[in-house]
Structure 1
Amino acid sequence: MQEPLRFGVYTGIEAELQSPEAVPAAAQLGLEPPRFCGQCGRRMVVQVRPDGWDARCSRHGTVDSSEVGQR
């Protein structure tokens, strides 16, 4: 089972402290891949592909854009 997100995936700020204005406009439109791990807030390695993206956290593994809609 996946843990709930504790950090904003676009800002790295704790979810309780993040304001809606902190999320970039491109991310709100779905044009930007996540840059931070939602579990630990660490910066992730992101690769953008023609068919989507994948993001890897050194501690929590990989997330693929094809998996996001399934969660």
Structure 2
Amino acid sequence: MPTKFNVYTGEPEGGSTPAAAQLGLEPPRFCSDCGRRMIVQVRPDGWSAKCSRHGELDSKDLETRR
């Protein structure tokens, strides 16, 4: 089974999540698939994050899944 990474710290899954992230105030900074740091842009209506290996993730996409 592949290792998943914490999107806020980049550490292997199971580590602690920062308080701001738990409150939904912080966008993800690391890719959950590879743990690499992503390019993140915060907008007034959300955020977008791009991993050089796994593509782009947008907060609007996550809202439609809920």
Quickly name the TM-score band, shorter chain normalised: 0.7 to 0.9
Instruction: Give the aligned residue type for 2:41.
Output: Q
Match of 2:55 among 40, 53, 61: 61
Structure 1 unmatched runs, 5+: none
For these two proteins, the number of residue pairs brought into alignment is 64
User: Given the two structures, how large is their TM-score scaled by the length of structure 1?
Assistant: 0.82
CA distance in 1, matches of 2:31, 2:62: 13
Measured after TM superposition, the shift of residue 48 of structure 1 is 0.1
The equivalent of 1:11 in structure 2 is: 9
Over the aligned positions, Cα root-mean-square deviation in angstroms equals 1.8
SS state at 2:41 partner: strand
The equivalent of 1:27 in structure 2 is: 21
List 4+ stretches of structure 1 deviating above 2 A.
none
Structure 2 unmatched runs, 5+: none
CA distance in 2, matches of 1:5, 1:64: 22
SS state at 2:8 partner: coil
User: Given the two structures, how large is their TM-score scaled by the length of structure 2?
Assistant: 0.87
Q: CA 1:65/1:5 → structure 2, altered by over 3 Å: closer, same or farther?
A: farther
